[in-house]
Homo-oligomer: A and B are copies of this chain.
Amino acid sequence: MSTNGKRVYRFGSDVVDGDGSMTAILGGKGAGLAEMTSLGIPVPPGFTLTTDVCRLFLDQGVLPSGVSAEVERTIHWLEAQSGKRLGDAQDPLLVSVRSGAPVSMPGMMDTVLNIGLNDDTLPALAARSGSEIFALDSYKRLLQMFGSIVLDVPKSVFEAAMEGVTGVKHFTNADAKANPDIASSSARMREVIAAFQQVILQHTGKPFPQDPRVQVTMAIEAVFHSWHTPRARSYRQIHDISESTGTAVTVQTMVFGNHGPDSGTGVGFTRNPSTGERAVFGEYLADAQGEDIVAGTATPIPLAALAGQMPDVSAELMQVAARLEAYFRDVQDFEFTVEKGRLFLLQTRSAQRSAIAAVKIAFDLAEEGIISRDEAIRRIRPSSLADILTPQFDRVALANPPLTSGLAASPGAAVGQIALTAGQAVAMKAQGKAVILITTETTADDIDGMNAAVGFLTARGGATSHAAVVARGMGKSCITGAHEICINAKARTVQVGATTLQEGDWLSIDGGTGEVFAGRAPLRPPNAECAELAQLMGWARERMPFRVRANADTPADALAAMAQGATGIGLCRTEHMFFAAERLSHVQRMIVADTIEERIAALDVLLPMQQSDFEDLFRTMSPSPVTIRLLDPPLHEFLPSTVEIEAQIACARADENWDVCKSLEAVRRKIDALTEVNPMMGHRGCRLSLTFPEILQMQVRAILQAALRVAAEGAHPSPEIMVPLVASEAEMRVLAEMIQATAKEVFAEHTATIAFRIGAMIELPRAAICAAQIASHVSFISFGTNDLTQMTFGFSRDDSASYISSYLEQGLLKTDPFVTIDREGVGKLMEMAIASVRAVDRSIKIGVCGEHAGDPESIAFFQTLGVDYISCSPSRLRVAQLAAAQSSPVCAAAPAFEVSAHSRVIPTQVAVSSRSRAWASHVPLARQPLF
């Protein structure tokens, strides 16, 4: 990182020591200024002390030997550049001292302006600027900034002193204009200055240092120190920024935008950061300094209007903007000052932008030939698509802070009236209401209520709990694990801290952030029909290194998935078909059957229903493959809860309906018998098929009969039968035999055959370890990464939200392993399994159908494993397709930034400064760095 021990890098008209690639040692700001200067863009000259100096200073407590002398020499050079001299009583050089870390930490570290002012140079500034009050204000600001930042005098002390003199706590240049009665009195400003100097003397025991060189040194040291302030530390912790890099410091000649009507200040973007529109976008305020725009007391004009007022400056600015964008090959966010008609650029960096703008800009840049299509694809953060494809809250219009929060389980904002049970949700939906379903957790039999709701909020559960998985499948907003929520079922209220919500109250939830708001928050609709996105997705799909299928249980899901380019269905969960109202009673009859005959009778009723579901799916998907998973959940999920059945029994008793009572009691006994302590590790998955072969036989029959019928219609169904929760080769061998035997029967009865595949879900650690043996009985395997993660960690996906959030806070986990695949543990098992399977059979098809198949970071990992396909929720399809394309070798090889002949690179991974935040605040910006 260190370059020949050089510790001070200059940028000026005659020499530029650094360049844009040197962010590690010059910080983002220093490197950008060097690069702009090299490009011939007007930048006030200055120099940057490296991050090496910072680290040494923080280690040793003093500036490394020689640095002061080097700074002194460089100040001489700077004086020569500007023709002004530091401390000169006629034409003093004034400088700013600013921090600039390798990774931007907007507003987190300190800046001192107007250094070089003192009692001697003040009159010269007044004389040369033609404004005594401006000079006095600048001095006052220096005293205040230097006092608080360098000398550690509390800000409140300055405010009190200010108030003592002027009656107000703050007093800026803009204030001065707005309140000429205060501002007009130079005498009163001198009183403030005297008061500030007194404050410094009292608090530090020493007067304000009049020597400008001492001011510079002290300011540099203070900026270095600011690396260790608690707020900077906590910012780095939150944003996962290394503690060890340190910050650079840039010392730059001051230019003043407040030198009269031919001066001013502005900020701009080379394209619109909200919409992506191709036009310079920003604001300009005449006779003002940058911070005055933020203060908002004066009204700036749009940059578009600048041409009318200052045509030359405007033309130059447009040229500079075009050059910056062309050079950095991305939209830039820049700051500038005009001093007496002369334009100076003070900063440039890749602009933060809204998700939709990112898509449009990437597409446009590719179409304009500035970047390649591969690079355009790399520019879109896959997870940001949720901001485009789902409704979002208008953050600016949001009045109140969130009531509480939970895990962001399925993105999108939703507003509705509270329902506390699935039944109530259905009833309210029937009345035409939008419903938010709030429950402790959901189970499979809440599915109707979930269908009726616009969003779900649960007190328990993690990122792959039932509610989360179903929500993503349905593309609905969902928050899980909102621990502060306490549901009082009797009172039909929800307690959140001190707030009590009634069933029927309005509530707003943001499944992308996990925030819960009381009342009706303002909504923006999704931009799902964005044409640029559609084209970009087309490019992405051409580049995917493996196929992306969708999880779909219904023809409607399947249609939606096909429309978005899914290459098949990778997971159809048959149990969801069992919960429909007209079927559940037969399912229950099948479960409580005492004899095999009774069970088969119930299954005979279900067979045509399942078959008809499969026919619809095959028709929709023909000729793409449809993977159907055999029944997976424990049977008790299909029965009422103990509480419900007790209530039904009580009713029957009250009615003296003894026959009903008796059969209900049989059901209750069955419920008792089926209840499990740890249902996730219980009697489920292929264990059901092995203990109740009739269920498997019915399902296989339904699948194959459906395929035969659809084939007879002229379509080309491609059924794949997938066995869940396999633990051993013996299970898979016996089940494959059972499936083949049933197929033989069906084909004989219909005197017709159809090709089908048998596959195993690898979702238990033992299955991963024994994958090669299991795979010898099937033609495909598919990793169920949800369950594999559960078992490998011993983390129940229903219960782990509480300690996982604590682990994330403590840094014990980097990411929730139910969201992003754990490469070290679960990933290792997958790697072993795939290696062992490929070693014996290269033709076997390998897929992933857990929720991780919709997570970009996990998808990048799956690419390295060499899977053949992944299958995700329909709502995640485009995210997965984009991530898959990005993981492809061709896209991965594309530069994120052009590497020019000069090998000059500037990072786009910069966060918004407080200023550009204000600019873009009417659109939700991507919450994460772009790349």
Contacts and interface: CB of A to CB of B under 8 A. Distances in A.
Interface stretch (A331-339, A496-504, A725-733): A725-733
Contacts of A855: none
A690 B810 contact: yes
Interface residues of A, number: 53
Contacts of A765: 765, 791-792, 794, 825, 829
Contacts of A725: 794
A593 to B, nearest CB: 16
A791 to B, nearest CB: 5
A812 B676 CA distance: 22
A734 interface: yes
Interface stretch (A2-10, A94-102, A293-301, A679-687): A679-687
A19 interface: no
B807 A769 contact: no
A795 interface: yes
A486 B673 CA distance: 9
Contact of A766 (B681, B769, B802, B825): B825
A825 B676 contact: no
A659 interface: no
A796 B690 contact: no
Given A681-B790, A682-B799, A770 B813 contact: no
Interface in A775-802: 787, 790-796, 798-800, 802
B681 A795 contact: yes
Contacts of A662: none
Contact of A682 (B690, B727, B763, B800): B800
Contact of A812 (B669, B734, B807): B734
A734 to B, nearest CB: 7
B682 A681 contact: no
Given A730-B812, A793-B727, A770 B825 contact: yes
A676 B799 CA distance: 6
> Looking at A677, A687, A731, which has the most chain B CB atoms within 10 Å of its CB?
A677
A129 B734 CA distance: 59
Given A765-B829, A807-B690, A826-B766, A812 B679 contact: no
A799 B677 contact: yes
Contacts of A826: 766
Interface string A661-680: 00000000100000011111
Interface in A792-836: 792-796, 798-800, 802-803, 806-807, 810-813, 822, 824-826, 828-829
Contact of A676 (B681, B682, B691, B796): B796
A441 interface: yes
> Looking at A763, A787, A796, which has the most chain B CB atoms within 10 Å of its CB?
A796
A697 B138 CA distance: 56
A769 B829 CA distance: 8
A837 to B, nearest CB: 15
B677 A828 contact: no
Interface string A482-512: 0000100000000000000000000000000
Contacts of A795: 681, 727
A886 to B, nearest CB: 28
Contact of A793 (B677, B764, B807): B764
A763 B687 CA distance: 24
Contact of A828 (B727, B769, B812, B822): B769
A180 to B, nearest CB: 55
A631 to B, nearest CB: 14
Contacts of A787: 794
Given A766-B826, A770-B824, A791-B765, A681 B799 contact: yes
A794 B690 contact: no
A486 B672 CA distance: 10
Contacts of A793: 727, 764, 766
Contacts of A683: 799-800, 802-803
A792 B794 contact: no
A798 B677 contact: yes
A690 B441 contact: no
A788 to B, nearest CB: 9
A824 B683 CA distance: 22
Nearest to A763: B794
A777 to B, nearest CB: 13
A811 B690 CA distance: 11
Contacts of A803: 683, 687, 690-691
A691 B799 CA distance: 14
A764 B460 CA distance: 23
Contacts of A825: 727-728, 765-766, 769-770
Nearest to A730: B812
Nearest to A486: B669
A681 B727 contact: no
Interface in A688-702: 690-691
A728 B812 contact: yes
A798 to B, nearest CB: 4
Contacts of A770: 824-825
Contacts of A769: 792, 824-825, 828-829
A806 B690 contact: yes
Nearest to A795: B681
A680 B799 CA distance: 10
Contact of A734 (B687, B764, B798, B810): B810
Contact of A731 (B727, B731, B796, B812): B812
A792 B810 contact: no
A741 to B, nearest CB: 15
A798 B486 contact: no
A813 B687 contact: no
Contacts of A829: 765, 769
A560 B140 CA distance: 83
Contacts of A734: 810, 812
A335 B727 CA distance: 49
A258 B912 CA distance: 110
A681 B678 CA distance: 8
B822 A766 contact: yes
Contacts of A682: 796, 799-800
Contacts of A441: 677
Contacts of A766: 792-794, 822, 824-826
Nearest to A678: B796
Contacts of A691: 802-803, 806
A680 B795 CA distance: 9
A796 B675 CA distance: 13
A22 to B, nearest CB: 34
A787 to B, nearest CB: 7
A204 to B, nearest CB: 37
A209 to B, nearest CB: 43
Interface in A94-116: none
Interface string A427-444: 000000000000001000
A389 to B, nearest CB: 31
A506 B377 CA distance: 77
A731 B806 CA distance: 12
A813 B676 CA distance: 22
Contacts of A790: 681
A767 to B, nearest CB: 9
Contacts of A486: 669
A553 B585 CA distance: 50
Contacts of A680: 677-678, 681, 794, 796
A473 B810 CA distance: 37
19 contacts: A676-B796, A678-B679, A678-B796, A678-B798, A679-B796, A681-B681, A681-B796, A682-B796, A685-B794, A687-B803, A691-B802, A727-B794, A728-B824, A731-B812, A764-B793, A769-B792, A769-B825, A770-B824, A791-B794
Q: Which 4 residue pairs across A and B have the least CB separation, nearest first?
A: A681-B796, A766-B825, A678-B796, A765-B765
Interface of A: 441, 460, 486, 669, 676-683, 685, 687, 690-691, 725, 727-728, 730-731, 734, 763-766, 769-770, 787, 790-796, 798-800, 802-803, 806-807, 810-813, 822, 824-826, 828-829
Given A687-B803, A690-B807, 10 more contacts: A679-B799, A681-B794, A685-B794, A727-B795, A728-B813, A764-B792, A765-B829, A766-B794, A769-B824, A791-B794
